[in-house]
Amino acid sequence: MVRSEEAEAFFYAVYQAIQEIPYGKVTSYAHIARLVGTPQRPRQVGVCLKHLPSDPSLPFHDGNVPWQRVINSKGAISPSGGHPSGASNQARALREEGVEVGTGSLGEFIIDFSKYGWFPPQLPSEAEAGLAPHSDTEEEKA
């Protein structure tokens, strides 16, 4: 897939951020978008995960980017699961990490953010490097 340099940088930023989600924790597409400085782009985070390669010779792939740890802002696994493998495989992968995955009234897979959520104000790697957190613009806060 051919991408512009800007798109490639966004994909890499998303993949790097997802690599920082701790084992046994989950976060939302929207939180990843905020952590990489683009709070208005949660759907594009999903697109990045949809196109996550499986080829281990590439710098980012489904073996080193824990795609299963990103769910929607309602605490549910999106129907596509954010990955071609689907929601049931995402639920299975999370259960393997010790995350309790329930079933909602509509049959969707639900995760309790109060127990398994990961929502730091900035990426741990950026905090360790002494970088300031990304800030939302006034337009994005409205």
User: pLDDT by residue (tens digit) across 56-68?
Assistant: 999 999 999 999 9
Query: Is the model's pLDDT at 90 over the cut of 70?
Result: yes
User: CA dist 102 to 13, 99, 131, Å?
Assistant: 30, 10, 37
CATH for the 5-127 domain, from 1.20.1050.140, 1.10.10.10, 3.40.50.300, 3.40.630.30 = 1.10.10.10
Reading the block at residue 96, the tokens are 């393997």
What is the average per-residue pLDDT within 12-34? Answer: 98
Q: Where are the domains of the chain?
A: 5-127
Query: Is the model's pLDDT at 1 over the cut of 90?
Result: no
**pLDDT value at position 112?**
98
pTM for the whole structure: 0.88
**pLDDT value at position 82?**
52
Name the residue with tokens 């995402």: 90
User: pLDDT by residue (tens digit) across 106-118?
Assistant: 889 999 999 999 9
**What does the alpha-carbon distance between residue 19 and residue 25 come to, in Å, rounded to a whole number?**
12
